[in-house]
Structure 1
Amino acid sequence: MRADIRHVTEYAYDEPAWDSFNEVRLHPEASARQQLKSFHLLIEPEASSVTSHRDYFGSIVHHVHVHEPHRVLRIEAQALVITKPLPTPPSMPLSALAEVRGEASEFLIASPRVPPGNWPEVFGVARPSPDDDLPTFLRDLTHQFFTQFTYKPGATSVRTTIQEFARAQQGVCQDFTHAMLGVCRTLGIPARYVSGYLYSGGEMVGADATHAWVEALIPGAGWTGFDPTNDVLAGEKHIKIGHGRDYPDVSPVRGTFYGGGQGSLDVEVRVYGEQAQ
């Protein structure tokens, strides 16, 4: 699929702000599944400097400094990406994970937004046996969370905990993803948080902002995406930016500034997709 992405983040301030420093993670990943044809970052007012580096997890991070006083800061990311469909992961027992857990240990331990807990019991997930099929279990877990929780924008915030989501049973893709990560890691399944974009064509939810889903490690197939918010495998309509342990590792834009007074934030994402030739 060919995906043309426009992502606009706009901060508006009551009073002039200055020396705004922002860390921007909006650069789509380049991989065997995903070709990045172009990427542009547009800053208004003009940035004093823009630098970049790869973070610990391999994502490209841009550092944007706007020195001059401003009442509005606009960060627009434009990207053109070609994605490929993924094959269905092969069947294999959960016991096969013993061979790969060592190479993915950081996605098995607790993280700030995915703390230790009896998450299978909290969310009513039946613990699988070592002989159960791993891809089938993950697909069933994706479906269970899709049917169990209600997608409701505004019901939660970026600071909502898994415990709060478990009580409310409603939230957004970030909450679905953190909950599924908790269950997977508790069961010894390496799993990581993915930030990206979604072309829905009106068929799926979560396309009006950056989207989140889970990647679980399946021996022989590698990291495979599961989207519990939409009850699908992450395929060619999912455009990956990067991954980490949880949301703070891949938050799209964050930073600091002086002045500004009271401010407001507006985010607009548009993904235009068509089948690649």
Structure 2
Amino acid sequence: MRLKITHETGYRYDHPAQALVQSLRLTPSVHEGQRVTDWQIAVSRGQRGAAFRDGAGDWIEAWTVRGPVEEITVSISGLVETRDTAGVLRGHRETINPLVYLRPTALTAADAALCDLAQDVAGEDALDLAHRLSAAVTGAIAYLPGVTEALTSAAEALALGHGVCQDHAHALIACARQRGLPARYVSGYLHSTIDGTPHDAAHAWAEIHVGPLGWVGFDAANACCPDDRYVRLGSGYDADDAAPVRGTTFGSGRESLDVRVQVEEMSQEQ
């Protein structure tokens, strides 16, 4: 599949910001399931700084903006060719030991209910267990936008019984870690749901390490493994650690945010 991605994030300040420093994890991963043919990142009034690939294999760029400034825009556009690898992350170079992803965080800490959900699942092997854990999370948390927020934990989302892709990913990560399977949060884009409904928004899912097979993606929100409709950006212990944009703003004004994402399938001739 050939996907064109346009992603624009606008920041506005009620009092001009004196300066901004941002760390961007907004470049698609390098692995067998996707190939970038064109990718551009721009920050209005921004200056690009150092860039590097971290131990998890993610490309990170530093940007700075000198103020005073009342608004800035982070713009991403590009083309990515994808193919279905049944969720298996092949050809992705990283140096971090998978066992570090057994560490819980505030967003993925397992309470008694999450522990019970994880322990009630049986699998023939690690891969089968991972699939069954994902299905259990799909059944326990119904997809419903607007009932959770960025700081909602996996335990809180399970108690509500509703949430969005971030909540499904956090809950699955918590359950997998409870069963001794390293798991991490993945940020990226999704072209459409299984029934073909357009998904013009950033997306998130989980990856679980299942022995010799390595990392395998599981999207509990859509009850599937990532295929050629997905574009992978980066990963982390949870949504905060894997955030595509992180930074610091110097100033006393309040910040408002506007995000627009469009993912289109392009013909091979275009």
Per the TM superposition, whether the score is higher than 0.5 is yes
Flag the 1:140–1:205 CA change in 2: closer, same or farther, 3 A: farther
2:220 paired with 1:221: no
Flag the 1:33–1:168 CA change in 2: closer, same or farther, 3 A: same
Please give the per-residue CA displacement for 1:161-187, whole angstroms capped at 9, x wherever unaligned: 122112111111111101001111110
Flag the 1:164–1:22 CA change in 2: closer, same or farther, 3 A: same
The answer for the alignment partner of 2:51 in structure 1 is 52
Secondary structure (helix, strand or coil) at the match of 1:137 reads helix
2:128 paired with 1:136: yes
Amino acid of the structure 1 residue aligned with 2:4:
D
CA contact 1:205–1:229 (8 Å) conserved in 2:
no
Flag the 1:119–1:30 CA change in 2: closer, same or farther, 3 A: farther
Query: 2-side partners of 1:182 and 1:136: how far apart?
Result: 17
Stretch deviating more after TM superposition (12-21 or 111-120):
111-120
Please give the per-residue CA displacement for 1:219-246, whole angstroms capped at 9, x wherever unaligned: 3432111100000111111110011211
Alignment of 1:104-253 (within 5 A): 104-118=98-112, 120-123=114-117, 126-128=120-122, 132-200=124-192, 203=195, 207-253=199-245
The answer for the alignment partner of 2:68 in structure 1 is 69
CA contact 1:146–1:231 (8 Å) conserved in 2:
yes
CA contact 1:119–1:183 (8 Å) conserved in 2:
no
Stretch deviating more after TM superposition (204-213 or 11-20):
204-213
Flag the 1:23–1:169 CA change in 2: closer, same or farther, 3 A: same
CA contact 1:226–1:233 (8 Å) conserved in 2:
yes
The answer for the alignment partner of 1:98 in structure 2 is none
Query: 1-side partners of 2:87 and 2:41: how far apart?
Result: 35
Amino acid of the structure 2 residue aligned with 1:111:
T
How far off its partner does 1:197 sit?
0.7
CA contact 1:83–1:236 (8 Å) conserved in 2:
yes
Query: 2-side partners of 1:198 and 1:237: how far apart?
Result: 6
Flag the 1:151–1:127 CA change in 2: closer, same or farther, 3 A: closer
How far off its partner does 1:115 sit?
2.4
Please give the per-residue CA displacement for 1:180-236, whole angstroms capped at 9, x wherever unaligned: 011111101121111111110683789343211111122343211110000011111
Flag the 1:53–1:88 CA change in 2: closer, same or farther, 3 A: closer
Query: 1-side partners of 2:216 and 2:117: how far apart?
Result: 22
CA contact 1:199–1:238 (8 Å) conserved in 2:
yes
Flag the 1:109–1:118 CA change in 2: closer, same or farther, 3 A: farther
Query: 1-side partners of 2:86 and 2:48: how far apart?
Result: 42
Flag the 1:204–1:62 CA change in 2: closer, same or farther, 3 A: farther
CA contact 1:119–1:186 (8 Å) conserved in 2:
no
2:79 paired with 1:80: yes
The alignment covers a number of residue pairs equal to 262
Determine what percentage of the aligned residue pairs are the same residue: 30
Secondary structure (helix, strand or coil) at the match of 2:156 reads helix
Please give the per-residue CA displacement for 1:59-95, whole angstroms capped at 9, x wherever unaligned: 1111111103221110011121111111487xxxxxx
2:258 paired with 1:263: no
TM-score, normalised to structure 2, is 0.87
The answer for the alignment partner of 1:17 in structure 2 is 17
Flag the 1:202–1:16 CA change in 2: closer, same or farther, 3 A: farther
How far off its partner does 1:18 sit?
2.3
CA contact 1:194–1:242 (8 Å) conserved in 2:
yes
How far off its partner does 1:274 sit?
4.2
CA contact 1:122–1:166 (8 Å) conserved in 2:
no
Query: 2-side partners of 1:153 and 1:206: how far apart?
Result: 16
CA contact 1:200–1:237 (8 Å) conserved in 2:
yes
TM-score, normalised to structure 1, is 0.85
How far off its partner does 1:125 sit?
5.3
CA contact 1:204–1:230 (8 Å) conserved in 2:
no
